[in-house]
Structure 1
């Protein structure tokens, strides 16, 4: 049976780390893996990466693990890559940045490969900094066979589970790629909406 798995949560919650773990497991099982990410995500060229602080005194995150990825913008690029690679496991990182065309292509792939062990693993933010559903993630979560939702530790109080992403600097646009310089994970009590 073909499967759709979704990994979600706020920034710094371990989504990429979990995606990389699942991809490494598939690789060890000799499965053909294809990883796709949106070209807008310029933080890591041609790879997905997980970051951690070396110790609690560090102020920045450093790359911990990574996995090669293809950057795309269009449905045509998606179709070409899937046709060329014929993956057993297709991973899509930062799915909140993709347009609705991805939903139809995922549905088509799952229907086409229903009687196989084909798997699609999607990772992305479930909510934006305004606490609103982000992009196509709600639809992907609704269609999924399995949803794994992570939390982080609140960057502000350092006590509560953080299920929200706080935008501390930058523009007031919903889509603005950034790391710890622009974003923090926050609990509901410590979260603030971006101001104009």
Structure 2
């Protein structure tokens, strides 16, 4: 990623969005970037939606069991209160946050904070998910990751739900979802 040089001395913020299907490595990439920021002695805060307790109540944990300490929150406005004086803010599972997440990310970037957001860009039906389309539209940098289709081995971009239950939001893992390519996800 290219970072513009800052010759004026003022701190410039920006928004990075990491998106893709389930099992594509979004959280893994978020953790990698945040750990590198910590190595650079930057002050980092990480947030996740309180409803996501799949692996841990507090930590952000990838499917590969890599973890980083985070703060579970109920609404995105809390981020503004808890991110005072930080250099980098990480946000996992952004699709689960309320519609204020867009304004929160914008305000942080305007304060000079590097904001790194990870989330599903599409739901299990292949439709735009939550606030992610809006975050993608305001992002300065976008990384789209892909998984491998469990049916044919091609690149997967759909989080195929193996069960017919639940609404748009159904927290689950490999027992509930598998990555599929567009073709295999639409086979009946």
Judge conservation of contact 1:7–1:147 (CA < 8 Å) in 2: yes
- Give the superposition deviation at 1:8: 0.4
Partner of 1:51, secondary structure, is: coil
Kindly provide the CA deviation profile for residues 82-103 of structure 1, in whole angstroms up to 9, marking residues without a partner as x.
13xx211000000000011111
Partner of 1:148, secondary structure, is: strand
Q: Distance in 1 between matches of 2:39 and 2:129?
A: 33
**1:131 corresponds to 2:143:** no
Point out where structure 1 has 5 or more consecutive residues left out of the alignment.
53-62
Which runs of structure 1 show a deviation greater than 6 angstroms over 4 or more consecutive aligned residues? none
**1:72 corresponds to 2:66:** no
Q: Distance in 1 between matches of 2:120 and 2:176?
A: 15
TM-score relative to the length of structure 1? 0.85
Judge conservation of contact 2:16–2:115 (CA < 8 Å) in 1: yes
Residue 10 (structure 1) aligned to one of 11, 17, 21? 21
Q: Distance in 1 between matches of 2:110 and 2:87?
A: 14
Judge conservation of contact 2:77–2:104 (CA < 8 Å) in 1: no
TM-score relative to the length of structure 2? 0.88
**1:182 corresponds to 2:158:** no
Q: Distance in 2 between matches of 1:15 and 1:45?
A: 19
Q: Distance in 2 between matches of 1:76 and 1:99?
A: 9
- Tell me what 2:95 maps to: 96
Kindly provide the CA deviation profile for residues 66-92 of structure 1, in whole angstroms up to 9, marking residues without a partner as x.
101100012453232113xx2110000
| Paired residues, number | 176
Point out where structure 2 has 5 or more consecutive residues left out of the alignment.
1-11
- Tell me what 1:172 maps to: 166
**1:45 corresponds to 2:57:** yes
Judge conservation of contact 1:33–1:87 (CA < 8 Å) in 2: yes
**1:105 corresponds to 2:104:** yes
Kindly provide the CA deviation profile for residues 98-141 of structure 1, in whole angstroms up to 9, marking residues without a partner as x.
0111111221222232xxxx200000000001110000001101
Judge conservation of contact 1:8–1:15 (CA < 8 Å) in 2: yes
Judge conservation of contact 1:166–1:192 (CA < 8 Å) in 2: no
Q: Distance in 1 between matches of 2:60 and 2:82?
A: 17
